[in-house]
């Protein structure tokens, strides 16, 4: 009886995960979208730059950007709230103003901020889901871009306008574009989670498909 019950519960769990995984697979192909860019992006800036994105559980978003050429570091953390609540237990409550976020360090001579935006909207998450991503719900899973300067703000806002104008999604983009006050690095056990736990059911059904999409849609940006 115990074995039968275990098999039944395993079947229910797998069915739920598979059902949830179909939600994240509905992101349209944005390869043909050419965002308007009235302000030329500075692609010759010397030194590394930083970008911060929030798009649901940070495990998958971090892993996606880790595989983008020109990205030297991708780190899970929290943004939007203050230091005293910048921890997983507090953020998971959904009332800290924090969003699970990823800080991306990149070389602008190898990958542009606009290319990072394209990956973020095309592969990393569904920007039309309000305060949720797939099975994860709450403001801590909201879609947001935390810009670090006026150029990033302009590029992000212009990109979103272009996506909505092209009606790339059946619903409007709900991604917030807000200034970054401070990024707080998440606990050590959250860093490189996909790489360290590739067999975790959540990773298998929600995040590994994102890496496959990145490799398929953007082979010129893919790195192992």
The distance from CA 87 to its chain's CA centroid, rounded to whole angstroms, is 19
Give the Cα separation of 59 and 5 in Å (integer). Answer: 31
Are the C-beta atoms of residues 105 and 71 closer than 8 Å to each other? yes
Catalytic residue among 57, 61, 91, 104: 57
Two structure tokens written together for 55: 């798009």
> In DSSP terms, which residues pair with 136 in a beta bridge?
133
Beta bridge partners of 189: none
DSSP string, 40-74: -------S-EEEEEEESSHHHHHHHHHTBTTEEEE
Integer Cα distance of 94 and 90 in angstroms: 8
Which residues, 6 or more positions from 171, have their beta carbon under 8 angstroms from its beta carbon? Answer: 128
Token pair belonging to 44: 């010759």
Whole-angstrom distance, CA of residue 183 vs CA of residue 188: 15
To 10 degrees, what angle do helices 208-217 and 2-24 make?
30
The verdict on whether 57 is a catalytic residue reads: yes
What are the two backbone dihedrals, phi and then psi, of residue 89, each rounded to the nearest 5 degrees?
-60, -45
Residues designated as active site: 57
């Amino acid at each position: 009886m115990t074995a039968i019950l275990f098999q039944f519960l395993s079947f229910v769990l797998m069915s739920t995960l598979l059902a949830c995984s179909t939600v994240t697979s509905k992101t349209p192909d944005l390869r043909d979208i050419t965002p308007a860019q009235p302000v030329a992006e500075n692609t010759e800036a010397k030194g590394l730059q930083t970008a911060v994105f929030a798009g649901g559980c940070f495990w998958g978003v971090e892993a996606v950007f880790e595989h983008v050429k020109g990205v030297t570091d991708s780190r899970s953390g929290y943004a939007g709230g203050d230091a005293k609540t910048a921890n997983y237990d507090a953020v998971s409550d959904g009332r800290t103003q924090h969003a699970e976020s990823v800080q991306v360090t990149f070389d602008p001579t190898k990958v542009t901020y606009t290319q990072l935006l394209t990956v973020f909207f095309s592969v990393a998450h569904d920007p039309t889901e309000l305060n949720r991503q797939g099975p994860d719900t709450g403001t801590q899973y909201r879609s947001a871009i935390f810009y670090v300067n006026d150029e990033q703000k302009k590029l992000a806002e212009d990109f979103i306008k272009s996506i909505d104008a092209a009606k790339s999604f059946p619903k409007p983009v709900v991604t917030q574009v807000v200034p970054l006050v401070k990024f707080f690095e998440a606990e050590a056990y959250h860093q490189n989670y996909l790489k360290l736990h590739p067999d975790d059911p959540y990773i298998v059904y929600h995040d590994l498909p994102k890496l496959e999409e990145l490799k398929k849609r953007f082979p010129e940006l893919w790195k192992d």
